[in-house]
Amino acid sequence: MLISVALDPGFGNTKVSLEGRSAIVQSAVVRPRDVGLAAVGMKSAVAATQVQFDGFHFSVGTGAWAWGEPRGGMDFSFLSSPERKALMYAALSTLSMPGEVHIGTLVIGLPVPLLQDQVQAEAVLNGLKTFKGQHDFQVDKKAYRVSIEKIKVLAQPAGAYFDWLLDSQLHPRRVASQAEVAVLDIGMNTADLYVILGGVVQPRFVGGGKVGVRRLLQIMMNDGHDLEELDARLRSHKLRPSQEALEGWLSEILAVIERTWPSLRRFTTVIPTGGGALVLGEILQTALASKGAAIHWPGDPICSNVLGLWKWGCYVSNR
């Protein structure tokens, strides 16, 4: 039986959704260093998830940075790299048993700023063609064989729209044909703005800027730690932003919003999503509501995009 799978290759988290379940792997990936017996008699860093395929060996996820220098950074070309495949494999392995997996459609969400740059987007899309076909890999020495028949690409924020639009049985909301829905997707690298009216994208209200969670971390500190380390400390609450840092970051996000969405009152609903929305939480909701937004807060802001992309893949496959 062929299944649909969704991939949201974020720079903070890599998310995969399958059969209504979602898995998250922090987008930290390194080529692990072999130090031989240099740690003899000592405890060594906790092993991160190990992914091997086609002669590549990567450590991925939380703690991977202890084994080598993080690779990929914030460059969009990273989205079709072997490192990105390793992250997808690791996330997929948490949702499926070792062995063979046959995927009819892999739905991939891409950042809005990338898709707005046609030349760069075409280069990434060509790279993503390598995701089609057979993939043989090992995750922590367990063997998988995954075959992918088709690849579909949507803008990442479209996932949050479809998560709002379609219920767990893939039935659309009754008001959908008249609704003008605005999605504010705050990821690690960017804040993406996306508006859909009756299922049709409204180019006038599509935009964004590089004011994602990375910007908050830059405001807070620059002490030599890798971005991935700071992000892990932030999500585990070991690094706590001050109110001043949060408000400074929020002001930059609101400035990006105002350039593209001068009035939030016109939209049927505004959906904040992404890890940045979770970090800001109530102060983001208060700021948007003060500007007249009717807010729909997803059940899981981090996974709303990938779950919606999966719903869309299943919905179009069944029609």
Q: Of 141, 144, 165, whose CA–CA distance to 154 is shortest?
A: 165
List the structure tokens of 268: 């049927």
Q: How far is CA 170 from CA 132, 147, 209, 250, in A?
A: 26, 25, 32, 34
Round to whole Å and give the CA distance between 304 and 317: 20
- CATH homologous superfamily, domain 3-156+306-317: ATPase, nucleotide binding domain (3.30.420.40)
How confident is residue 93, by pLDDT bands cut at 50, 70 and 90? Answer: very high
pLDDT of residue 227: 79
Q: Taking the domains of the chain in order of start, what are their residue ranges?
A: 3-156+306-317, 172-298
Distance CA 238, CA 302 (A): 19
Give the separation between CA 228 and CA 319, rounded to whole angstroms.
41
Measured between alpha carbons, how far is 61 from 244 in angstroms, rounded to an integer?
Answer: 30
User: Among all chains, which residue has been given the structure tokens 């990567």?
Assistant: 58
Q: DSSP state, 195?
A: E
Tell me the pLDDT band of 229, cut-offs 50, 70 and 90.
confident
Who wins on pLDDT, 2 or 294? Answer: 294
pLDDT in tens, 2-59: 689 999 998 889 999 999 999 999 888 888 876 443 443 434 456 689 999 999 999 9
Residue 64's pLDDT band (boundaries 50, 70, 90)? Answer: confident
pLDDT given for residue 80 in this prediction:
83
CATH class of the domain comprising 172-298: alpha beta
Tell me if 85 sits within 8 A of 133, measured CB to CB. no
Of 297, 133, 130, 112, the residue nearest 191 (C-alpha): 112
pTM equals 0.91
Looking at residue 72, its pLDDT comes to 62
What pLDDT digit, counting tens, does each position of 139-195 carry?
999 999 999 999 999 999 999 999 999 998 999 998 888 999 999 999 998 899 999
| Most confidently modeled range among 70-79, 161-170, 213-222 | 161-170
